[in-house]
Structure 1
Amino acid sequence: MSESGVPGPAGGEGTLSDVALWEGDTGTLREPSRRVLVQLLRGPYLSASRHGNLWTALLSDEDAVRSSLADLFLDLVIDHAAQVAFVRNTSADVDTPKVMRTATLTFLDTALLLHLRQTLLQEGGGRKTIVGADEVADQLQVYRGKDNADIAGFSKRINSSWQKMVKYGLLAATSTEGRFEVSPVLRLVFGAEEIAAVQTEYRRLAAEVEPSSAELLDTIEETE
């Protein structure tokens, strides 16, 4: 029983007197777990490599953190093998408010995401996946069109998509200039059904550009 006579929930939560950080603080999570919540809500993800202490706190208080997120209509997604976690709007078949904002992706944004995810899966889970903007841009040239019109404009669109991935934290600069690490969270972003639907549409569009371009998407399917 706490000094106020109100016990805190079990698990990673303590009594109100145990976890209070300031006068009038009625929170029930310990400080490390609160910081975990903040990072998860800020996004785009929490990882052991970038947030070591928070990752440890998450594993210690997973049930309590998950419960607090559920109060906000959010699901906690954890990949223990990749050591990453993120939150998303609940997928339950009920009418709930959408707390997390979603970003609208262009055709090229999605093509870039799929390529990065493919590269991540091909590398396996044992090491970091490092890519360069130029090499990725080369892989996306299949979407430029048969007439190769507006090369400069297409390059700008690729760069815009690239910068968007950096902004979202899906690409992170490394100590080597021009080289970026692909976030392991991309393994979890697309489910099997979503991948299949996107592949079907992109294969059709790629074939309209150039029949051999569909091979780019076939390789994605092979890594699933």
Structure 2
Amino acid sequence: MSVEIEAEVEYADELESQGVSLFEGDEGGLEYAQRHALVTLLKQRFISARTHPRDWRVLVEHERLLRSRLNELFLDLQVDRVREVAWKRQAVAEGSARFPTMLYDAAWSREETLVLVHLRDRLRSGLAGGDTRVFIDREDLVGYVASFRPRHATDVAGDEKRARNAVASIAKAGLLIATSTEERFEVSEAVESLIPLELLQELLEALQAANATDVPPESDEPADLFDEES
């Protein structure tokens, strides 16, 4: 453990011992660890037992309390205890009403969509084959995206750059975990929880419609993916 992390842990332990009043005029009702978990949930796309072990333990112990605080912001807490992943979603009002939102919901790009399709397929295949951890190479992902290049596309260099940027974007989102080798990643199990089958189907259909092209006949991986039940 680095000196910086040790100092942060010691500081957190000190704050946790102070109870719920952490600063002058503090009228909050949450302890430090609960507030920390709540802030992490708000800032990050997801938390997991692996990526945020302290926050995950707090969430499991105080799930109802943290859920209520998110609900006050029109957010819904989603928890997958099997894969030990938690994330937030915008709450949906009944009828035609719409709640105010603090989330920026940017659509996945064409290349990011393909990366997600491939990651989910690889993850399911690896876990079904008995692997406890699933790894994938950067070039594998870039090559998969390239296999969907429309026949009329001529900007090969530009397409490759967009594919590599998509891999970097997915890694930044936490769905690809860095390893000791720069060109190799571990696939986060959060992929399956955060990107359910129904959403991937919707994304791929939108992609195919936008490209006005079908899945390449030589690649049956998406078909295998969508034949399975989520």
CA contact (8 A) 1:207 1:214 kept: no
Secondary structure of residue in 2 paired with 1:144: coil
Closer/same/farther in 2, CA of residues 177 and 198 from structure 1, 3 Å limit: closer
Letter in 1 for 2:127: G
Task: Compare 30-39 and 205-214 and name the one that shifted more.
Answer: 205-214
1:170 aligns with 2:171: no
In the TM superposition, 1:74-153 aligns within 5 A as 74-93=75-94, 94-124=97-127, 127-146=132-151, 149-153=154-158
Query: Which residue pairs with 2:23 in the alignment?
Result: 22
> 1: distance between equivalents of 2:48 and 2:102?
21
Q: Distance in 2 between matches of 1:211 and 1:104?
A: 23
Q: Is the 8 A contact 1:46 1:85 kept in 2?
A: yes
The more displaced of 138-147 and 94-103 is 138-147
Contact residue 131 and residue 181 of structure 1 kept, 8 A: yes
Deviation per residue, 1:123-154 (Å, 9 max, x gap): 22862222111011222222123356332222
Give the whole-Å Cα distance in 1 for the aligned partners of 2:100 and 2:92: 11
The percent identity for this pair of structures is 30
Q: Which runs of 5+ in 1 are unaligned?
A: 1-16
Count of aligned residue pairs for this structure pair: 208
2:201 maps to which of 196, 199, 202? 196
State the shift of 1:26 in Å. 0.7
Residue from 161, 168, 175 that aligns with 1:156: 161
- Alpha-carbon contact 2:147-2:216 (below 8 Å) kept: no
Deviations 1:39-81 (A, max 9, x none): 1111121111121111111111111000000001111111111
The amino acid of 1:106's aligned partner reads: S
Q: Distance in 2 between matches of 1:201 and 1:42?
A: 28
- Letter aligned with residue 26 of structure 2: D
Deviation string, structure 1 residues 76-132 (Cα, Å, up to 9, x no partner): 111111111111111343420121111232212111111112212222286222211
Q: Tell me the secondary structure at the aligned position of residue 19 of structure 1.
A: coil
Asked if structure 1 preserves the Cα contact closer than 8 Å seen for 2:92 and 2:98, the reply is no
- The answer (yes or no) to whether the contact 1:146–1:210 under 8 Å persists in 2 is no
SS of the equivalent of 1:102 reads coil
Amino acid in structure 2 at the alignment position of 1:46: I
In structure 1, give the amino acid aligned to 2:161.
Answer: K
How far apart, CA to CA, are the structure 2 residues paired with 1:164 and 1:134? Answer: 15
CA contact (8 A) 1:142 1:206 kept: no
Distance 2:60 2:215 in 1: 48
Distance in 1 (alpha carbons) for counterparts of 2:220 and 2:212: 9
CA distance in 2, matches of 1:56, 1:24: 28
1:29: how far off? 1.1
For residue 35 of structure 2, what is the aligned residue in structure 1?
Answer: 34
Q: Is structure 2 residue 59 aligned with structure 1 residue 58?
A: yes
Structure 2 unaligned regions, length at least 5: 1-17
Distance 1:86 1:210, change over 3 A: closer
Alignment correspondent of 1:220 = 225
Once the two structures are superposed, residues 152-181 of structure 1 have per-residue CA deviations (whole angstroms, 9 ceiling, x without a partner) of: 222111011111112222222112331112
Moved more, 46-55 or 140-149: 140-149
Task: Answer with 57-66 or 179-188: which moved more.
Answer: 179-188
Q: 2-side partners of 1:169 and 1:220: how far apart?
A: 22
Q: TM-score, normalised by structure 2?
A: 0.80
